[in-house]
Structure 1
Amino acid sequence: WVGADKKYKPTSTSKSTGKTVTVTYGSGSFSGTEYTDQVSLGGNLTLKNQSIGVASKAKGFDGVDGILGIGPVDLTTGIGFFPFLLLAPLSSSPVPTVTDSLYSQGLIPTESIAISFNPTTSPGDDTNGELTFGATDTSKFNGSINYVPITATSPASHYWGVDQTLTYGSNGTPLLQGAAGIVDTGTTLVLIATDAFQAYQQATQAILDQTTGLLTITDDQFAQLESLFFQIGSETYELTPNAQIWPRQSNSSIGGQDGQIYLIVADLGSNSGSGLDFINGFGFLQRYYSVYDTTNSRVGLARTPNTTAETN
């Protein structure tokens, strides 16, 4: 969808469907009208008759025009899951995503999208990632991509959901065991179930900062901070101490204090066992290469030069 910042200008390829669109995210929302239009993604990737939402009202998207939307297509029916989408008149049929349309129109060989991020180090890092539709970019990762099937546990199974065991430190302090959750580029932090979060807070001796809502630690505690280990399938992915902290140059963007150390692991708001016990958001994904493969119903991860980088 578009129109949160710059107003959408209909052209000769634009066609209103006459349907209204309302979408509510975990943070932010928009409402407007559905159009079909030609969408160019660069190179020879030009879609015909792609459904788009055109916002007349948007909240929580300052400086952003809209959202591309790469989640599974069933999320576009908006039945009980975030983002919650309401299309009027009501329809139970999914609305093809950009990735769906690229594949169905023969523009990509497999219905997949691969994403590479560089860690954000300052508020000015607006462009720090790359999308590859229908393939992977071998220059962006090290070694091989390890794939796991979409979890069978609901509601995580409705997203890019995986099963994961999460531990902290060299002693393997357990936080989550065989839990289902999601990998989500649209979530800033790493969110874990409340009981897991409490165990993490105890292990790190962090305190909750009331201004930012994030855990904070002292310099001495940071020197003692250990890695988080995400076991997904047969592989274990490390989130180093440096990767667990908010980029200190960007503290002002969250209302934080200069020089303070904030952690990017936060409380999901519900205890484990709900079927969605974690969200591996941008804080995790900026350290790994990720692949979202609809054709084979799987998620892939690979290490990158940023996995152990000292950027924060």
Structure 2
Amino acid sequence: MSQNTTHSVCFKTKLVKAQHMKHHDSMRAKHFLAGHHPHGPAAFHRKGPHPHDKSSGNTSSGDASKTVPVVDAGVTYLAAVGVGSPATNYQLLIDTGSSNTWVSAVDKPFQQTSTCQDTRKTFNISYGKGTCNGNEYMDRVTLSPGLVIDQQLIGVATEATDMDGMDGILGIGPQDLTKGTMGSSDESIPTVTDNLVKQKTISSACIGICYEPTTTDEPANGCLSFGGADNSKYSFAFRYTGDMSYTPITKTSPASNYWGIEQCISYDGQEIMAKCAGISDTGTTLCMLPSSVFKAYQKKTGAVLDNATGLLTVTEDQYNSMKSMIFTIGDVDFELTANGQIWPRSMNQTLGADPSKIYLIFADMGDVNVGSDGLCFINGFTFLQRFYSVYDTDKEQVGFATTEYTMATTN
């Protein structure tokens, strides 16, 4: 078995116009709200009763070989993944909102090696704004030296739109999201997590994700821990500092198709969003709020909409007066500080934005009816940078905990 040095790949932050980023996130939100996985409605595959105990299923991988370093590439997180033997390295977007893993052959030809098998089937996926299609292969996939998957079904895209700055997607959402994406068949495709369990590389279908708020182009500043939350101090793994609190996957559709949770939000002690269903999504950059909630937040902060970027901006004085937001997930409060509510100022150039301005990380997802519509918010990676999150297929739950970066003032 060949060794793969994918985690040493150098990444470069890609310049992405803020308007493009916001449009991408808005289209993605509409896609989710419409109840679409790539080819129609789905439901999280239930394996048993929901666990309601905050501490249930607190698994820990405790093994550096099961942890994969990831890099913030400006407006998304990428993991270096090897395909084949010897492996070809790809920079794949980490996406909890989809479940297919695919690589692009648009810019560089796909190399078939001794481990590659052509299934003679095609695939087609829509992500709201971007789409891709191509051929389905079975091949060896290497996430790290200790995470090697044999006979993983992967797509090789011969056509991909709106996928700039990445070589494909590492889909780690629920398996049912893959139904109908391969040829005319309605069968689902086992995800990389499913196959890691099947091949006994990990003991549970559970992924821990930790991101560090980014201020510069740096080496690995986040990690994926396959098999459970990793609370050890490896060179590229970050500790969570509070108790890991779990909440069951919501039963409210369409949020239930994804890593759906229920939460309410307060600002400065006043509720601005009643309890409703939404999703935790690494593939969305911003935090998406219903129009009514977005406007309430804008009023409380005094923010104005910046025409050049489409983002909310505040003055230095307004920022200094901003209060914390409290996200109540399940029955646990998670504090997003004022600093956590702003885009990293040193990274404004990533958005093609004014380096002297202060931009907020919230965007308007449209006229969503809080309480009756089935997907009312998206906690994107700008939220997830402040917390450790766990996505547990076996127990049908999502977990959150504070980290050493929850109260950081680096933005």
Which letter does structure 1 place at the counterpart of 2:173?
G
Do residues 183 (structure 1) and 274 (structure 2) align?
no
Q: How many aligned residue pairs are there?
A: 301
- Aligned residue among 242, 249, 273 for 1:143: 242
**Equivalent in the alignment of 2:182:** 87
Are 2:95 and 1:2 equivalent residues in the alignment?
Answer: no
Q: Is the 8 A contact 1:24 1:30 kept in 2?
A: yes
1:173 aligns with 2:275: no
Distance 1:279 1:125, change over 3 A: farther
Alignment correspondent of 1:97: 191
- Which residue of 2 is the match for residue 129 of structure 1? 222
Match of 1:283 among 361, 377, 382: 382
CA separation in 2, counterparts of 1:277 and 1:126? 35
Deviation of the 1:126 alpha carbon: 6.2
Corresponding residue of 2:165: 63
Report what 1:306 is aligned to.
405
Structure 1 residues 64 and 5, CA, compared in 2 at 3 Å: closer, same or farther?
farther
1:59 CA drift (Å): 2.4
Is the counterpart of residue 115 in structure 1 residue 217 in structure 2?
A: no
Q: Do the aligned residues in 2 keep the contact of 1:148 with 1:232 (CA within 8 Å)? A: yes
Higher relative contact order (CA closer than 8 Å, sequence separation 6+):
2
8 Å CA contact 1:215–1:263 kept in 2: the answer is yes
State percent identity of aligned pairs. 50
For 1:60 and 1:7, the matched residues in 2 are separated by 19
Q: Secondary structure at the match of 2:350?
A: helix
Which secondary structure state, in structure 2, belongs to the residue aligned with residue 38 of structure 1?
A: strand
1:259 to 356, 361, 377: 356
Question: Which runs of no fewer than 5 residues in structure 1 stay unpaired?
Answer: 79-85
**Residue 44 (structure 1) shift:** 2.9
Report the Cα offset of residue 41 of structure 1.
1.6
SS in 2 for 1:87: coil
Structure 1 203/288 Cα, relative in aligned 2: closer, same or farther at 3 Å?
same
* Secondary structure of the corresponding residue to residue 295 of structure 2: helix
Report the alpha carbon displacement of residue 5 of structure 1 after superposing the two structures with TM.
5.2
Q: Kindly provide the CA deviation profile for residues 107-129 of structure 1, in whole angstroms up to 9, marking residues without a partner as x.
A: 1111111011111213x246321
**1:124-160 per-position Cα deviation (integer Å, ceiling 9, x unaligned):** 2463211110022113211321111001111001100
Deviation at 1:199, TM superposition (A): 0.9
Displacement after TM superposition at 1:269 (Å): 2.0
Q: TM-score, normalised by structure 1?
A: 0.92
1:73-121 Cα offsets, whole Å, 9 max, x none, are 111126xxxxxxx432x22211111001111221111111101111121
Shift in Å at residue 22 of structure 1?
1.9
1:270–1:9 CA distance, 2 compared to 1 (3 A): farther
User: For 1:230, which of 322, 327, 340 is the aligned residue?
Assistant: 327
Matching residue's letter, 2:248: P
Give me the whole-angstrom Cα distance separating, in 2, the residues matched to 1:32 and 1:241: 44
Deviation at 1:63, TM superposition (A): 2.9
Superposition map of 1:151-230 within 5 A? 151-169=250-268, 172-230=269-327
Q: Distance in 2 between matches of 1:6 and 1:100?
A: 28
1:65 & 1:104 partners in 2: Cα distance?
A: 26
Question: Any runs of at least 4 consecutive aligned residues in structure 1 with deviations exceeding 6 A, and if so which?
Answer: none
Structure 1 counterpart of 2:263, one-letter code: Q
> Unaligned regions of 5+ residues in structure 2, if any?
1-101, 233-238
In structure 2, the CA distance between the partners of 1:96 and 1:250, relative to structure 1 (3 Å rule), is: same
Structure 2 Cα separation of the partners of residues 298 and 282 of structure 1: 19
CA distance in 2: counterparts of 1:258 and 1:142, whole angstroms = 33
Distance 1:257 1:147, change over 3 A: same
1:6-85 matches, within 5 Å, as 6-77=108-179
- TM-score, scaled relative to structure 2: 0.71
Q: What does the per-residue CA deviation read over 1:202-241, in whole Å, with 9 as the maximum and x for residues that have no partner?
A: 1111111122111111111111111111001121001101
Q: Distance in 1 between matches of 2:120 and 2:264?
A: 46
Give SS of 2:188's match: coil
